[in-house]
Structure 1
């Protein structure tokens, strides 16, 4: 699915090679269109959805970390979907296909089974393998069904919120542009688990520490570093 020479084009595009950037965008338009097709709605022009999705593709090209080892298309899918969802949400017409919902339910069930057995958060690739689907399809279903990060809800047993930590001036942009899957995509495994456990599961730093094998102080320091990184990305 979408076997494109992204690996050789991405470094060039990110270093300012306009020809490589253009080729990368054009080569991945099939991916954008396949995602746009999932959101066809009466009164919404398909080409408009493609154009909005292309914005997400461009952001993915600029922000993708080539050292992570994840396939570019797996990273790009949530970025593309995020832009389209924002566009449709602003117009009040966002809907998700039944097929995507069913896949999302299956993925969540497999995720829960994985976490019970492994005591760890599975990657998108691992979930896709368990469900017998492509990572891109899994990423699309997860993005469609996953909530945005809880920015204003208290974390764990304290009163701190992600909004307080990142900064209220930027929180609107963060809430609109970074979904849960997008926010954790660039983090390493431990940082990803800390964010999921703290801001999705609502655990205290002490509980997170017991889960990941750290002291509360270590979790606190690491969490501050993660928040600082998010703040820098939003600057």
Structure 2
């Protein structure tokens, strides 16, 4: 079992690297630890008769646990959100860093930038965004995915852990 976990440990790093935004306040080592525990649990409970490859089941388990942790840590930060006004400057700087925010602003239109923040930080659903911006759900989903792809293409992340 230990050998199998070591051999599949790269899935943890893949999940972490696939995440678009990780707040600066979150320690990458914490995410790695959460991912390794999720990997261990997934491998222990894996059943070949489920019809999925072990790597698929493990990836999903790791992703779910890490995103759950990030949501919980973000919920603690929500105390800094000004009701009706959006997000405070301190929260935004902590989450993205002012340079990253400016880089994102340059790449996206104002509506797409606001929509992207409403979705990623404000946790609005596509239905809620469609109502807010006067678009269809499909249009919102398309614009959100297009913005995400544009950011992935144009913003490079330095990995200091390798």
TM-score of the two chains, using structure 2 as the length reference: 0.42
* Higher RCO (C-alpha 8 Å, min separation 6): 2
TM-score of the two chains, using structure 1 as the length reference: 0.30
